[in-house]
Amino acid sequence: MGVHILYENPDWMPPLRQALSDRGLAWQEHFCEGGMVDLGSAPPEGIWLNRMSPSSHTRGHQGGVQFARELIAWLEACGRPVINGSAAFALEVSKIRQHAALSALGIRTPRTIGVVGGVDALLSAARQLPTPFITKHNQGGKGLGVQLFRSHEAFQAFLEAGSWEGSPDGVDLVQQYIAPAQPFITRVEIVDGRFLYAIRSSTEQGFELCPADACQIDEGAFCPAPSGEDQPAAAAADERFQLRPEITADDPLVGELVELTRQYGFGLAGIEYVQDADGNRWVYDINGTSNYNAGVESAHGLSGMGAVAELCQRLLDEQQRPGWGQNVA
């Protein structure tokens, strides 16, 4: 019995492997570009960790998203504990569902309109929002597809020029633009219902941000990854990502975000917000595949993947207790 890891990006795996190895945990990796689910069989015992990303399509693995969704449902039906299971994954790959979840908990989030129907529908939706506004993919990742438009005319010209590239799930968004009081966003990292830390990510070079070590070259545009050995050096050289020590577990918004992870079954999550000139904080993105940044962590003695490995260890220990059964969450 050990940890089973569902993943599609091998460049994100080395820190997790190291954290599991440091704790003496056995694991098996399952590359999810696609595959088969034999519904007449039983899945292996152990803990299942979902590391599938909504940005999978940028690496040619969009089929893995659909496959993982069905595989996870089967695992849960068979009583296997899944970290970031069906409820969490449904939110991670849909910003519309994220908006609904945030609103249901009373957490401030930008006004957003979901669109299916092509160019005319996009333009019609955009005209319902004041300028400036932004567009984004419903199935996002690393800020890909996020663009700022300062007029409806500019958006129309963009669409008519054939420059639009839609979301891989066919659902696109137009969203109220929140002008940040400072040129950065904040990402709150949470594991096992516990606040780890918050980092600031500079937006001075654009919206396409990925704090993972494997995403630190070419401005993060498509998250091209250096080799595992090169990751710490790349992270240390990138000053866009810095710890925000003034954000603590006692922060009211942090408490609300921790509660969200509990209600929707996120074993780990990185949740992003921006603060406007009036001090209002707007939450706009929930990520379930936090990779953490070695440069930030090494400077402050932190370990996000260590916390993930500890979560795996806790769940494995629970399986060894008398009376453990298929209803374990």
Sequential pLDDT tens for the chain (329 residues): 799 999 999 999 999 999 999 999 999 999 998 888 999 999 999 999 999 998 887 888 888 899 999 999 999 999 999 999 999 999 999 999 999 999 999 999 999 999 999 899 999 999 999 999 999 999 987 676 789 999 999 999 999 999 888 899 999 999 999 999 989 999 999 999 999 999 999 877 654 444 444 333 222 332 222 233 334 444 444 578 999 999 999 999 999 999 999 999 999 999 999 999 999 999 999 999 998 999 999 999 999 999 999 999 999 999 887 654 433 33
Q: What is the pTM of this model?
A: 0.87
pLDDT of residue 219: 29
CA neighbor of 187 nearest in space, from 109, 280, 284: 284
CA neighbor of 291 nearest in space, from 211, 195, 194: 211
Specify the CATH class of 112-175 in words: alpha beta
pLDDT of residue 59: 85
Q: What topology is assigned to 94-109+180-300 in CATH?
A: D-amino Acid Aminotransferase; Chain A, domain 1 (3.30.470)
Please state the domain extents for the chain.
Answer: 2-91+311-319, 94-109+180-300, 112-175
Q: Six-digit token pair at 319?
A: 């399986």
pLDDT of residue 228: 37
CB contact set of 282 (below 8 Å; sequence gap of 6+): 108, 109, 110, 178, 273, 274, 275, 276
pLDDT of residue 327: 34
Specify the CATH class of 2-91+311-319 in words: alpha beta
CA neighbor of 292 nearest in space, from 185, 201, 159: 201
Question: Which DSSP letter does residue 229 get?
Answer: G
Beta-sheet strands, E only, within the chain: 2-7, 27-31, 46-50, 82-83, 112-115, 133-137, 147-149, 172-176, 184-191, 194-202, 241-243, 268-275, 281-287
CB contact set of 144 (below 8 Å; sequence gap of 6+): 55, 58, 137, 208, 222
Cα–Cα dist 140/54, whole Å: 6
pLDDT of residue 9: 92
